[in-house]
Structure 1
């Protein structure tokens, strides 16, 4: 009997790649007086490269951009604050996100989020997507003092949801940090296919969030 579904955030619920693209284009246009000596395409592509799909924090990214492009009139600290303040306004969900969450809620499935990242930043993004009302627990690594793939953060989510591992399903896009780590704790696993990896040993593999309710129905 499945009682709970726990989700990763970036790359699973939030289309981070599309959101970053949208934000960085907007940042360039707003700050063109300081960035205009760099071509828009170069600024965007270099940011995305240095960002390394979110695995490099933006203080290092902006320091590198300031140095490489000899940016004047604005500091890396100001660029970072702009990122922190504005990114939430450009969050793009994956298709069928809300429909999927509504379907699970109608089945009285408990739901949680486990995400690595900065506490307030991730909270702002979750709110921007309108997700907080669906989740019974949200664990963000900075505030928990532990991050995926450490089993402690998965176990804490299960405890807060008051469910056993074999009564839960974990959904994520990263083969190691999400799928393998959750599997080791004892949950069923769903891999949301990610183009970076060819395969992943999950219990289920999906292309679209809309597939999740039927999987839960079968397991239940």
Structure 2
């Protein structure tokens, strides 16, 4: 019987691209003010680069195109220090409320730069909605998923058996293999948008079950065979 629900954060409980775009606005605002440039145009160019080639060298390209004399590390710091307004998905809010009312323990395990992830957590107001949050980068990058440490730490915190915990995430590259490896139930949410909605891997990387929204958890948890 499942007694604890442990969630990924980005693209599972909220749309992660919202954070990226809002953080871009802060960098664009900084550059626009410093160089007397149209910050809206700078922001739209960043957005275009993201859509065309993904993350990586966006700030480098912006500086090269506009002859900005900038330390890219400082721009990255502006990005990472941003605390934009973010919102949980509606089903995320409702399932967390439902689960708590029905006696489930609740946790979050998330990868990414520690400062960025805690800023997201603060912006989402999620700390008061769950029992424990683990940002794997607090242990060091070598402990990011699929490393088993965060899953084992969460289970130890809850004082539960591994089979009594379910992990819900969106990224088969890393979310499930570690959790499955220690005997946890795994569920993949495939939403309408997100970085990994079209990623499908070998069975060992995929979750035990797939859902398209978190409301489906209610039915799953009512199934004695799950």
Superposition TM-score tier, normalisation by shorter sequence: 0.7 to 0.9
Q: 1:183 aligns with which of 167, 180, 189?
A: 180
Q: 2:199 aligns with which of 197, 200, 204?
A: 197
Pairwise CA distance, 1:203: 2.2
Which residue of structure 2 aligns with residue 45 of structure 1?
48
Which residue of structure 2 aligns with residue 18 of structure 1?
18
**Worse-superposed segment, 106-115 or 196-205:** 196-205
Aligned pairs for 1:67-78 within 5 A:
68-72=64-68, 74-78=70-74
RMSD between aligned residues: 2.7
Which residue of structure 2 aligns with residue 80 of structure 1?
76
- Checking the alignment, whether the CA contact within 8 Å between 2:63 and 2:70 is kept in structure 1 is no
Distance 1:29 1:66, change over 3 A: closer
Distance 1:168 1:15, change over 3 A: same
Which residue of structure 2 aligns with residue 206 of structure 1?
211
TM-score by length of 1: 0.82
TM-score by length of 2: 0.80
Gaps of 5+ in 1: none
Q: Per-residue displacement from partner, 1:12-67 (whole Å, max 9, x unpaired)?
A: 11211233234424643564343549665332222456654xxx5xxx653x2355
Aligned counterparts of 2:188 and 2:32: Cα–Cα separation in 1: 40
Pairwise CA distance, 1:89: 1.3
Q: Which has the higher helix share?
A: 1
